[in-house]
Structure 1
């Protein structure tokens, strides 16, 4: 081969390598348009997921509300049963329910003869309404219904017959939380 041909062949090989390198670098990267399309897709998916996350938080708060209502109502029923059994003493002319929710957390001496010296407690602590303002004490987060009060228009009385949420929100089932 002549020197001219050797130089031309080497030149072609060299150009081929440089071109291959530069073409490979371009093929490995992303264009601005590809990145914008990816961001748009991610934004759309995030906008779909946000309402589902809010609904999950609402559903969990509703579960907490149901548990708290069951816990308080069970304690009220246990207090009434203890009063009727003579374990908790109180005025005979009043309904057998506690005067406040805090009474359910106080230790009470069992008044029955066969259990002298034993104590009982109906709640460890008053659970809070998850829909209430965070700064309020747990006892103040609940609406109280007295024994003589109507279920459709609950009013407080000298005793706590039932509790309800003070929240004006409506549950996912369409029922206002006050009616739970």
Structure 2
């Protein structure tokens, strides 16, 4: 007598249903992953802007406190971002030690051109220019992102 043994395994339909369900799950997770990645870049942008602005303010305070020489007509803000990393000599220190404000210039996380240096990835506004129409000048009063994108809160990154 022949006994039929039942074959064990999955049918083609079961495999197709499983693949469709996996595809649906993955396609619904992709937007969440994109938003999470954008949120991380936004947090990095906020941190970098805070760090640069804090260093610019510290430089200005050092000028106001007489630790950095200022000529008449100068605003007291740094002439460029590099000087915050390179440091300036302290005239009050007999050893002429330098005062440093940054370890390195962070790169704008939303900069599109990988060829740009970290300093060139930021827009710079001089003390003499307005907020509405920022322009570079003899000093760096503020920095902003050059990205034309908008954040998750729909504000352009340039206005952060």
TM-score using structure 2 length:
0.95
SS at match of 2:123: strand
* Structure 2: gaps spanning 5 or more residues: none
1:66 Cα deviation after fit: 0.5
Higher gyration radius (CA):
1
Do structure 1's residue 119 and structure 2's residue 107 form an aligned pair?
Answer: no
Q: Does 1:67 align with 2:47?
A: yes
C-alpha deviation, 1:155, in angstroms: 1.1
TM-score by length of 1: 0.84
**1:135 Cα deviation from its structure 2 partner:** 2.0
Tell me the residue number matched to 1:8. none
Measure the CA separation in 1 of the matches of 2:147 and 2:56. Answer: 21
Structure 1 spans left out of the alignment, 5+ residues: 1-10
Which one has a larger percent helix, Structure 1 or Structure 2? 1
Tell me how far 1:127 sits from its aligned partner. Answer: 0.6
CA distance in 2, matches of 1:111, 1:35: 77
Q: Which residue of 1 aligns with 2:123?
A: 143
Aligned-pair distance for 1:90? 2.5
Match of 1:102 among 77, 82, 104: 82
Per chain length, whose mean CA-contact separation is higher, i.e. which structure has more relative contact order (CA < 8 Å, sep 6+)? 2
Is it true that 1:128 corresponds to 2:132 in the alignment? no
Aligned CA-pair RMSD: 1.1
Task: Figure out how many residues of one structure are paired with residues of the other and give that number.
Answer: 158
CA drift of 1:134 comes to 1.9
Q: Secondary structure at the match of 1:140?
A: coil
